[in-house]
Chain A
Amino acid sequence: MVLEAKNINKHFHLPKDFHVLKNISFGVKQGEFASIMGKSGSGKSTLLYILSTMDTDYTGELYLSKQLVTGKSHNELSRIRNKSIGFVFQFHYLLSEFSVLENVMLPAKKLAEKSLAEIEHDAHEKLSMLHIGHLAQQKASRISGGEKQRVAIARALINDPAILMGDEPTGNLDSHNSENVFNIFKRLKEEQGLSLLVVTHDEDFAKRTDRIIEMEDGMIIKH
């Protein structure tokens, strides 16, 4: 198990008390490509942000690579996110003033486990793997949406994370680019044995993953 959730419960307190996640327990295996589906308001994104360690306001237990993550300090969680979790968002969220290469390198620079030269080499490698090596020196604000999303994936991969999470990573892309992103994910799983967990609305996308976790009203109804 790369990721395991045990009895996760979460309440929204404002405007009034609302039980969003009810006793969520499930796991993602090494090398598994799982998707979470559900209607708007089913709590799937909320769950993903808890799993990503960014949201700490919940009860239950969360394990990442068999280590208990729940209850750690914000600084430790930042480090875990940096090292072990790659994240791809619906909107590409690149730092627009930096070049593509710098965007990709930033998490590795923060981690500071490799020398600058190694990091730059790795970043070039990730970009070439995603067929955007030629964009390395471009400003992040000057490239197309599909390219941005691929840069975001390269950035998520730079520290060789244990798991890659996506919050509707294809939600903002046309069908051609969606297909492209899906194929990249598939290839990462097959070639590198990467574990993936993706929240999506797109049924076609979900059907082609290894496993669909379906959510409704804050509960997992099928997995």
Chain B
Amino acid sequence: MTNWPVILGIAKTHLVSKMKSTITATLGVTFGIGAYITLVSFMTGLNGMLDDLVLNQTPHIHLYNEIRPSEKQPVDLFRDFKNSFNVVRSIKPKQSQKKIHNALPILDYLKQHPNVKGATPQLKAQIFYLSGNIELGGNLVGVDIMEEVRLSNIQDNIIEGSPKALKNNDNGILLGAGLAEKMSLSLGDRVQISTVTGNIFPLKIVGIYQSGIAEIDNIQSFANLKTVQRILGEAENYVTDINIKLLNLDEAALMAQRLERQFNTKAVDINEANAQFETGSDIRNLITYAVSITLLIVAGFGIYNILNMLIYEKMKDIAILKATGFSGRDVQYIFMSQAMIIGSIGGVLGLLIGLALSKIIDQTPFHTEALPTISTFPVNYNMAYYIIGITFALISTFIAGYMPSKKAKKIDPVRIIRGT
């Protein structure tokens, strides 16, 4: 039978009478947990921001026609050479069109699909931006702008003007920020573009687009799908890319494979397109956890040490407690509860310090060209990290307390009292 009030009373007296050691041990845990919370909040906040930066600009599945050679060359189809070793030199890509065949029915089909949040058609055109007699090479992307706003974070990247302005202007263009700077153009100005075939069109700048990635901002602009179709002199079903946003991201890979077979186009899913990006996130997480766990292990050793010393000091007390009727388990509980009290107080303080530091980081100004929408450092206040933090504090102090307390349990009172 365990008498908790008595055991906790003794544990409390021990902790209070050794205030310095208690505070040292508690602070060890506090700093460990505080550092963990701060690091993990900041790191995952940063990860989330970078994910947004790259991943939100990437569709979950991207459909397009890839220019590539046929896998089966004519000679492979000829039965007489079936068992021979055929060598074809100087293979050329298959003659095919850039546009997706039957794009409009495909779009209709995708919009009906239960796992599709939305599908937007795009038309990517190679063009030149004309500034005097200088030609700058680049892309013009024809989009259904209001659908893009609904499905991606394009609105965040329009630093001047608005998507609506583009929608309402058949000759409007959202000019890349890098281009605008190079050509000294601003909102309301006109820019001349020329197609590959040499036709020249004037477009009105209704917005400036800045993705934060210079390579994109220096070449890419957006216009309405119909505008680009008109510039290229193509029909309304001329669409080179279809971007799909899914409701459930996990099915992206499987669905991409199916769409590829079904529509005979190339389909790239988000994970394939951003494999290297995931690696970066994983490594940052790994570093965060490695540092935090190291801190907590150090704190754990501190507790282990202090309890060990306490038990040596209290050898006689332990003998007395045992002689007057406290069982070995009672004695173990006394020291375990000291460890757990240190762990829980240190842990909770650590959470508070972590929260406070996160708040400070959250207030720190952080301006960068690359991220127009961010003004302070990003911080992730996820409840899960606080739960992990306190759990880890309790587990590590439990382990650190368990071993010394086991020793206290086994102390033979007769040997201590007789002094042998």
Q: Using CB atoms and an 8 Å cutoff, list the residues of chain A in contact with chain B.
A: 45, 49, 52, 54-55, 74-75, 78-79, 81-83, 87, 89, 93-98, 106-107, 109-112, 155-156, 159, 167
Q: Which of B3, B317, B327, B413 has the most CB of A within 10 A?
A: B327
Question: In chain A, what residue has the closest Cβ to B18?
Answer: A97
Identify B323's interface contact among A52, A74, A97, A111, CB under 8 A. Answer: A52
C-alpha gap A82/B327 in the complex (Å): 9
C-alpha gap A79/B6 in the complex (Å): 15
C-alpha gap A111/B1 in the complex (Å): 10
Task: Give residues 14-55 of B contacting A (CB, 8 Å).
Answer: 14, 17
**A44 shortest CB reach to chain B, Å:** 12
Identify A111's interface contact among B5, B325, B413, B418, CB under 8 A. Answer: B325
Question: In chain B, what residue has the closest Cβ to A87?
Answer: B323
Confirm or deny: B350 has a beta carbon within 8 angstroms of a beta carbon on chain A.
Answer: no
Question: In chain B, what residue has the closest Cβ to A112?
Answer: B3
Q: A55-B414, A93-B316 are in contact. Are A75 and B329 (CB under 8 A)?
A: yes
Instruction: Tell me if B329 and A81 are in contact (CB < 8 A).
Output: no
Instruction: Tell me if A97 and B13 are in contact (CB < 8 A).
Output: yes
Instruction: Tell me if A107 and B324 are in contact (CB < 8 A).
Output: yes
Q: Which of B1, B324, B330 has the most CB of A within 10 A?
A: B324
C-alpha gap A110/B323 in the complex (Å): 12
C-alpha gap A51/B13 in the complex (Å): 32
Instruction: Tell me if A45 and B418 are in contact (CB < 8 A).
Output: yes
Q: A82-B325, A106-B6, A107-B325 are in contact. Are A93 and B320 (CB under 8 A)?
A: yes
Instruction: Tell me if A78 and B326 are in contact (CB < 8 A).
Output: yes
Task: Give residues 227-260 of B contacting A (CB, 8 Å).
Answer: none
Chain B residues within 8 Å of A83, by CB: 325
Task: Give residues 310-347 of B contacting A (CB, 8 Å).
Answer: 316-317, 319-330
**A24 shortest CB reach to chain B, Å:** 17
Identify A78's interface contact among B14, B317, B325, CB under 8 A. Answer: B325
Chain A residues within 8 Å of B374, by CB: none
Instruction: Tell me if A97 and B417 are in contact (CB < 8 A).
Output: no
Q: Shortest 6 CB-CB distances between A and B: which pairs?
A: A82-B325, A78-B327, A97-B17, A109-B6, A107-B324, A81-B325
**A38 shortest CB reach to chain B, Å:** 15
Task: Give residues 365-420 of B contacting A (CB, 8 Å).
Answer: 413-414, 417-418
C-alpha gap A98/B324 in the complex (Å): 15
Q: A95-B317, A97-B13, A109-B6 are in contact. Are A75 and B327 (CB under 8 A)?
A: yes
**B293 shortest CB reach to chain A, Å:** 35
Chain B residues within 8 Å of A45, by CB: 418
Instruction: Tell me if B322 and A87 are in contact (CB < 8 A).
Output: no
10 contacts between A and B (CB under 8 A): A78-B322, A93-B320, A93-B417, A94-B320, A95-B321, A106-B10, A109-B6, A109-B9, A112-B1, A156-B324
Instruction: Tell me if B324 and A54 are in contact (CB < 8 A).
Output: no
Q: A109-B3, A112-B3 are in contact. Are A54 and B413 (CB under 8 A)?
A: yes
Chain A residues within 8 Å of B327, by CB: 74-75, 78-79
Question: In chain A, what residue has the closest Cβ to B417?
Answer: A89
